[in-house]
Structure 1
Amino acid sequence: MKVLTKNTDYAIRALLALAAEKGSYLSAKAIASGQDIPYQFLRRLLQEMIRHNLIVSKEGARGGFMLEKDPDAITVTQLIEIFQGKVQVSECMFRKQICGNRSRCVLRHEIMRIEQVVQSEFEKVTIGKLLRDLEAANRK
């Protein structure tokens, strides 16, 4: 069970780098090297975040990427849903077939409840909150 995949982790790190720049453009190369993210991998993530209106891009010498949304309005839940799909603790699937025991599974309702708790907790975590936490940790 993976709660966060590399895609989501890298997207969070890229957004933190952009949020730290507060309204300035940052190149993909600067993000990749500063966050230790493979450049080509990052480019695909950035394009997906543009498509979801989280960031904007600008061509040219002073171009790059910049947050389009307020960092406090971007939740980890949003990023999970963009890069992974819905928050899932368990898959009621086996080889793309719905589990035959799904309708009478005693654990399914508990798993669904846990998924809702996890999703609710991730809703409280925003890029803005993570940036403030990071800045506070760096001051110590």
Structure 2
Amino acid sequence: MKVLTKNTDYAIRALLALAARKGSYVSARSIATEHDIPYQFLRGLLQEMIRHDLIVSKEGVQGGFMMKKDPDTISVTQLIEIFQGKVQMSECMFRKQICGNRARCVLRHEIMRIEQVVQSEFEKVTIGKLMRDLQAANQVKPPSVDLEQEMLNP
């Protein structure tokens, strides 16, 4: 079971790159290089995000891609739905093909409940929140080796 596919993972990374440079256009090439995303694959993801009004693009030397929406309004749930469909924990839950055991399945309601919990939790995680978490993590510097030694050997 994959909760997040590469598409969603790469889309989140690309949006974080754009959010970090708020108000500026960023080239797909620089996003791909900085975040280790295959360039041609990224281009397709960026086009899909344009279609969903998350970002805008501009051609030319000063062009690239830029956030269109506030990062705090873009949830991981929204990205999952764009790039992989609804959050689903089990193949039996695919609505297009009804499982023959559906009426007798003891797990069905529990799986549906868990899916709702997962979706609700992902809804709370936004690109803005991830950006702030990343900034906070980068501000926390590990203690120096000397300080660690002093603490271990007072």
TM-score, normalised to structure 1's length?
0.96
2:57 match: secondary structure:
strand
Pairwise CA distance, 1:47: 0.3
Runs of 5+ in structure 1 lacking a partner? none
Pairwise CA distance, 1:98: 2.6
Identity across the alignment (%): 85
Query: Counterpart of 2:133 in structure 1: which amino acid?
Result: D
Query: Counterpart of 1:7 in structure 2: which amino acid?
Result: N
Cα distance in 1 for partners of 2:111, 2:28 equals: 39
Counterpart residue number, 2:144: none
Query: Counterpart of 1:34 in structure 2: which amino acid?
Result: E
Is the counterpart of residue 121 in structure 1 residue 117 in structure 2?
A: no
Cα distance in 1 for partners of 2:116, 2:138 equals: 32
Counterpart residue number, 1:14: 14
1:102 match: secondary structure:
coil
* Structure 1 residues 36-75: aligned runs within 5 Å: 36-75=36-75
Which structure's CA Rg is the greater one?
Answer: 2
Pairwise CA distance, 1:54: 0.3
Counterpart residue number, 2:24: 24
2:103 match: secondary structure:
helix
Pairwise CA distance, 1:43: 0.3
Q: Provide the alpha-carbon RMSD of the alignment.
A: 1.2
Cα distance in 1 for partners of 2:81, 2:31 equals: 22
1:66 match: secondary structure:
strand
1:2 match: secondary structure:
coil
2:100 match: secondary structure:
coil
- How many residue pairs get aligned? The number is 139
Which aligned segments of 4 or more residues in structure 1 are displaced greater than 4 angstroms?
A: none
Cα distance in 1 for partners of 2:58, 2:90 equals: 40
Runs of 5+ in structure 2 lacking a partner? 141-154
Query: Counterpart of 1:104 in structure 2: which amino acid?
Result: R
Query: Counterpart of 1:123 in structure 2: which amino acid?
Result: E
